[in-house]
A and B are shown apart, each in its own frame.
Chain A
Amino acid sequence: MTMDKRVIPIEPAGGSGKSAAFEYISTRKDELVGWARKFSIFPYPFVTACCAMEFMSVSSTPYDTDRFGAALPRFSPRQSDLLMVVGTVTHKQAPILLKVYEQMCEPKWVMAFGVCATSGGFYQNYAAVPGIDRIVPVDIYIPGCPPRPEMVIDGIMKLQEQIAREKHPILTKDF
């Protein structure tokens, strides 16, 4: 059974190009939604290895990621916006990572936390995936083995800037 895709005109009817008023409203809307979204990053910690120690440190009181709205880990991928891949991912585990990523709702972002997730780090062997970007698209890479909490916070702030700059379509192409 196939359903026809609903086509909802985003542009005002009648006009061939975007009117100035529409563009103004839509830009302000992106700014507003981006501002809201960048302060409500709910992370899903996909924690596999020793970087977990640093993740615990960064999410505890002294560093307080709640300042960025990113303190509340969701342990269901369906409720989260940011997939934090913390630690080494092996080829055997890659299908799980992909499944978790695919379960997340749009909009979603991915952070590679530590050199293992970024590039495989010093592992070059039969087991380790040399960078999770081979499996899922990554928005922000944080080097370090493990990264200092300051680096993670810098990464979160850079991601916030990116989210604020992004377009936030109310209707996506798949709608």
Chain B
Amino acid sequence: MGAEVFDRIQSRLADGEEEGQSTPGQARVPAGVSHGILVLDLAPGAVAGAARALKQEFGFDVFLDVTAVDWPGQEPRFEVVWHFYSTAHKVRVRLKARVAEASPAVPSLTALYGSAAFMERECHDMYGIVFEGNADMRPILLYEGFVGHPLRKDYPKEREQPLVPYREGFEERG
């Protein structure tokens, strides 16, 4: 189940011909199927084209999630992860792209999936990933004035950034 569409997606996306991808060979070899999910490792520039192909050609109509993984000490440091679901084929696809700490930018998918807007804001809150093309990058779970990105591994876990000044006798940590 799903293997047939996975094969078609792999042969369509792995040849690196979709628009917006300038350098051939940027799309690395697909990582294969993991727990019934097709995993594709892409260059950041190839993500928008791959998502468009998934939506328009293969019927992946549900945008499930976008999040990131912080790999401290590795270069590029961040891995941005997208999940898509197809209600026609009843299968999922995972896209991954590595971005560097210096410019953690990936294209926004809000033009394809409206539901991506809030999830991209959350990912920006927590990891500081910049989604180019998402006009609204205000904090969604955090608040204005919050410094840093709390799910990055180097954010000190005891650091407090209270909105209300503490009462007398209590000290902020961090």
Contact = CB atoms under 8 A, between A and B. Distances in A.
Nearest to B171: A134
A130 B160 contact: yes
Contact of A134 (B141, B159, B170): B170
A91 B161 contact: yes
Chain B interface main SS type? loop
A95 interface: yes
Interface stretch (B19-27, B39-47, B90-98, B150-158): B150-158
Sorting the interface of chain A by its residue count into under 10, 10 to 19, 20 to 34 or 35 or more gives 10 to 19
Given A124-B158, A125-B150, A126-B155, A137 B164 contact: no
Sorting the interface of chain B by its residue count into under 10, 10 to 19, 20 to 34 or 35 or more gives 10 to 19
A98 B164 contact: yes
A134 B157 contact: no
A92 B146 CA distance: 10
B35 interface: no
Nearest to B151: A126
B164 A125 contact: no
Chain A interface main SS type? loop
Given A91-B143, A92-B143, A126 B170 contact: no
A126 B162 contact: no
A135 B167 contact: yes
Contacts of A136: 167
Nearest to A94: B164
Nearest to A130: B160
B88 to A, nearest CB: 38
A125 B157 contact: yes
B167 A92 contact: no
A91 B142 CA distance: 9
A129 interface: yes
A98 B146 CA distance: 19
Contacts of B141: 92
Contacts of A92: 141-143, 163
A30 interface: no
A129 B172 CA distance: 10
A127 B143 CA distance: 10
9 contacts: A91-B161, A91-B162, A92-B141, A125-B150, A127-B150, A129-B162, A130-B160, A133-B170, A136-B167
Interface of A: 91-92, 94-95, 98, 124-127, 129-130, 133-137
